[in-house]
Amino acid sequence: MASAIWKNTEGCVLRILPQTKYFLILPLCLLVVSCSKPKTISQQELRSDLLSATSLASESELFMAQLQENRTTKIFAKAHIHYLHEEATRDASTLHQVRTNKEIAEPLRICREQLLALASVLADLEQSDSDTRMIPDALQRTTRIKLTLEQAETKL
């Protein structure tokens, strides 16, 4: 129980009631729920991860096409590629910490590997300062990654 130190215009002392703690706890629980990731993932969760990885590859493809046609600023390109790279690396590292049953171990391995491959493509592009000469190759590699991920998802 805590009481506030101020008085209002009517001179009433303010108190914070103990029941209010539930309203404080609820968003914290939500935060924990949304941040936590199970250590063993199910087939459905792996499918969701594969879809998310495919989406990231597709996002990268879409942006590389824009970059190729000089339809973006240099600063934006560097920053956006960095965000995509960060996302791919984070997802790959999350998948490295999970386990799954034997039947779906192979798609999990593919997902990890392809995310790392995508992170590598994006890192190369970031380092080259989005050099347009690098883009056709990066685009090709990204398309391959996307196809591999899509195949892994359909086999699941």
**In terms of C-beta distances under 8 Å and separation of at least 24 residues, what long-range contacts does 70-78 make, across chains too?**
70/132, 74/129, 74/130, 77/130, 78/126, 78/129, 78/130
Rounded CA gap, 106 and 113, in Å?
Answer: 11
Q: For other proteins, which is the closer residue by CB, 54 or 148?
A: 54
The residue among 94, 106, 9, 13 whose CA lies nearest residue 56 is 94
Residue 108 as a binder of other proteins (CB under 8 A): the answer is: no
Residue 1 as a binder of other proteins (CB under 8 A): the answer is: no
What single-letter DSSP state applies at residue 40?
B
**Binding segment toward other proteins, per CB under 8 A, in 51-59, 97-105, 118-126, 128-136:** 51-59
Residues at the contact surface with other proteins, assessed by CB under 8 A = 6, 8-10, 12, 14, 16-17, 19-20, 22-24, 26-27, 30-31, 33-35, 44-45, 48, 51-52, 54-55, 58-59, 61-63, 66, 69-73, 75-76, 78-80, 83-84, 87
